[in-house]
Structure 1
Amino acid sequence: MAEKTIVLLDDDELLRELLHAELEAAGYIVVAAANSADLPQLLEDHNAALLISDLVMPDHEGMEGIFAVRQQFNIPIIAISSYEQYLRVVESIVTLTLKKPFTPQQLVQQVRRLLDS
């Protein structure tokens, strides 16, 4: 498998670190951030193959970032949130939604399905 880069956005530091570790263990390069500020530049700088983004973050909303990304990039996007109403708002423009809580293994399985097919 060629190494593919994933940009992971989540303001929850513990969850971000856990998902980062699981995705790296699965063979991916992971660039993690706590908010979506400068997200298009981050995706471009790292030639990202996938975006995983929380939707509700205090400093910069993930939904804003997802809308910006969708206008500029043609990459898969996984939206994650514990708020089902926010997932419904973006489900037509993202590739996949995952409602928290989910296991890191469930996320890795979906990432493999999207990137390794």
Structure 2
Amino acid sequence: MANKTIMVIDDAASIRQVVSMTLKGAGYDVIEACDGKDALGKLDGQKLNLIITDVNMPNMDGITFIKEAKQLPRYKFTPIMVLTTESQDEKKRAGQAAGAKAWVVKPFQPPQLLAAVSKLVLP
């Protein structure tokens, strides 16, 4: 199978590392970004099969990033999963309204993350 590429956006290097290791261990290619602005700069037209973003980050938060990414024709239909410590319903609704397809609350178990990824990742 051709490798699928997933972008992981989180301002915490430790979280990016755990998520990246989990995904790479399952055979995915991973691109890391430290916040929404950094991530938008890395959306250079290459195909992404999934984007995983945190909500609370400096420079550009996850909800704003989702709205911005969905404006780009190349990424309009790219599934986005939110991985965050936030569990309030209003945050989830804001994420869904922006275009997030799933909401996973940290701390997460790698099998739980991979199960969600396998449901969302584009062919």
TM-score category of the 2 structures, normalised to the smaller one: 0.7 to 0.9
| 2:3–2:27 Cα contact (<8 Å) kept | yes
Give the root-mean-square deviation of aligned CA atoms: 1.8
- Count of aligned positions: 117
CA distance in 2, matches of 1:99, 1:91: 14
Question: Following TM superposition, by how much is the alpha carbon of 1:38 offset from its aligned partner in structure 2, in angstroms?
Answer: 4.5
1:106 Cα offset (Å): 1.0
TM-score by length of 1: 0.88
* Structure 1 segments unaligned to the other structure (5+ residues): none
Partner of 1:25: 25
Q: Distance in 1 between matches of 2:122 and 2:68?
A: 25
Question: Deviation string for 1:46-105 (max 9, x for gaps)?
Answer: 421111000111232111111111122210000121112322311232111111221122
Query: CA contact under 8 A between 2:9 and 2:36: conserved in structure 1?
Result: yes
Q: Within 2, Cα distance between the matches of 1:11 and 1:38?
A: 10
Task: Compute the TM-score of the two structures, normalised by the length of structure 2.
Answer: 0.84
Any conservation in 1 of the 2:33–2:39 contact (CA below 8 Å)? no
Q: 2:114 pairs with 108, 111, 115, which one? A: 108
8 Å Cα contact 1:80-1:87 kept in structure 2: no
Higher deviation after alignment, 81-90 or 4-13: 81-90
Q: State the SS of the aligned residue for 1:84.
A: coil
Indicate the SS of the match to 2:57: coil
Cα distance in structure 1, aligned partners of 2:16 and 2:25: 14
Contact 1:78/1:98, CA 8 A, preserved across alignment: yes
Deviation at 1:18, TM superposition (A): 0.8
1:81 is matched with 84
Q: Secondary structure at the match of 2:31?
A: strand
Q: Percent identity?
A: 31
* Matched residue SS, 2:17: helix
